[in-house]
Amino acid sequence: MKRLLLLLAVVPSVFFAVSCDPVNTDGPDNGGDSKDKTDIRLIDVQSEYKVASDIDTVMLRFSVTLGESAAAWKVTASQDWCKPEPAEGTGYAEVFVAISANDKASAREAELVISAGTKTKKLKVTQCMYAGAMPAESWFTKPYYERTDRERVGLRGPVKSWYISTYTTYDKYYYDEAGHLVKEEYYNTTDNYMEVRWVHSYDAQGRRVKSEQSYGSDAEGGRTFTYEYGNTGKLVATAAYNWIEFQEGWVSGKNFPLSIWKDLSAIHYLDNSPFYYEREDIVFAFQPDGNLVITDTYCRNQDGSAPEVSVYHIAYENGLPVSCAESEVAVKYDDKGNPAELSVDGGAKTWTFLSHPRVLLAATMSEPKAQGMVAQFWANYFYNSNGDAIRFQRAYFSADQEYNDYYIKYFYDAHGNWIQREESTEPAFQHGQHFIGEVNREIEYY
């Protein structure tokens, strides 16, 4: 689906208001002749148009007159990756400028010139870099479970913090120079307040040892996770349910917690406030056969009485968790040790994954055994070579009834991280309304 950047024009016989043209002026400073009565008329024209690195189209609409008569015009481009069609004509024009894909790791610029007589209008087109052409960073070949928090979400370069600035409420994530997630803040710009959601601390080996969340400056107590490490060299499934996390298609950039931790032996959770108490202790113990037993003790009483104890058995193969009988979870891996397929509840939901050097990506999701109003559901996820989602497709009841809900285009910074994306939806999803939205991400670097 092509995005059209509209340069709307006025035909003299059509009656609607023409705004002042912000792009150039006719006259000697713009290569024109003040005695030339040729008129190039445009509406809502920007001085620069930015396009993504993939194939795109810019549409130019304008009219050219000489007195009461239509006049000849030409459209030229300074670079051959911009191709106007038609390149010349008379009077009213609709010119499609085809933008070729940029396969370079740098942005590029071109100038479009509309000329008529001695008059000209000049427009600048800037095309984003192709992040997939950038050299791989050192961690691209590092196993997923060996990566830092910053690396697991695919951020390139020394990112210090990032947040989605488009919305009135958002979370902001902070990393130390080593790439560990150290703080998460919540912002509400409408009510003008910020609160620290989580603060994370690490040991000398870079392992997370504590995560703390307060209830706000005026409240007592808070939530705390503490972590212990005694299973040296082991990859530990932290939960009996769905321990493989993945980056879903249309939420590219979300920071997921890693649910397989190296060396982990225990997690202790405490929620302690004047009005509420909750404690959970999870112990991870490997058996002589190499399988894992998770013992989860949950208690709401401060004196420790009436605890609820659950035990789960995780089967391992080649050092990786593959199934849990109690929760009917099963995982298959590729030859690189990355998740290839995940099923839960005995296959009621299944995910397949793509192998990608930057991030863990879902390829498909299905619910063939789902109950209720929706009997069956499929979803397909599509990505560019940089690992960023470009399309989300779903189908109900039959894989033939497909809806392309989301299309996404990206604009990247010099590090290869996206800083802006454009999202569009199909009418089927928006109840007949085609929606295009712009999402901006602010990134700070060390």
Q: What is the pLDDT of residues 309-358, one digit of tens each?
A: 999 999 999 999 999 989 889 999 988 888 899 998 888 888 999 989 99
Residue 252 clears pLDDT 50, i.e. is over it: no
Give the residue carrying structure tokens 């503490």: 226
Say if strands 56-66 and 339-344 run parallel, antiparallel, or are unpaired.
unpaired
Q: What is the DSSP letter of 384?
A: -
DSSP codes, 52-85: -SS-EEEEEEEEEEETTEE-EEEEEESSTTEEEE
Q: Which of 136-150, 185-199, 236-250, 315-329 has the lowest mean pLDDT?
A: 236-250
Residue 421 clears pLDDT 70, i.e. is over it: yes
Provide the token pair at 69.
């008569």
pLDDT tens-digit series, residues 112-161: 999 999 999 999 999 999 999 999 999 999 888 889 999 988 999 999 99
CA–CA separation, 424 and 409 (whole Å): 9
Question: What pLDDT, on the 0 to 100 scale, is given for residue 21?
Answer: 45
Contacts of 275 (CB under 8 A, 6+ apart): none
CA–CA separation, 230 and 266 (whole Å): 8
Question: What pLDDT, on the 0 to 100 scale, is given for residue 322?
Answer: 95
CB-facing half-sphere around the CA of 354: CA atoms within 13 A:
22
Contact 67, 80 (CB under 8 A): no
Contacts of 335 (CB under 8 A, 6+ apart): none
Q: Which of 378, 425, 381 is nearest to 401 (CA)?
A: 378
Contact 243, 316 (CB under 8 A): no
Partner residues linked to 366 by β-bridges: 350, 378
Residue 402 clears pLDDT 70, i.e. is over it: no
- pTM equals 0.83
Question: What pLDDT, on the 0 to 100 scale, is given for residue 345?
Answer: 83
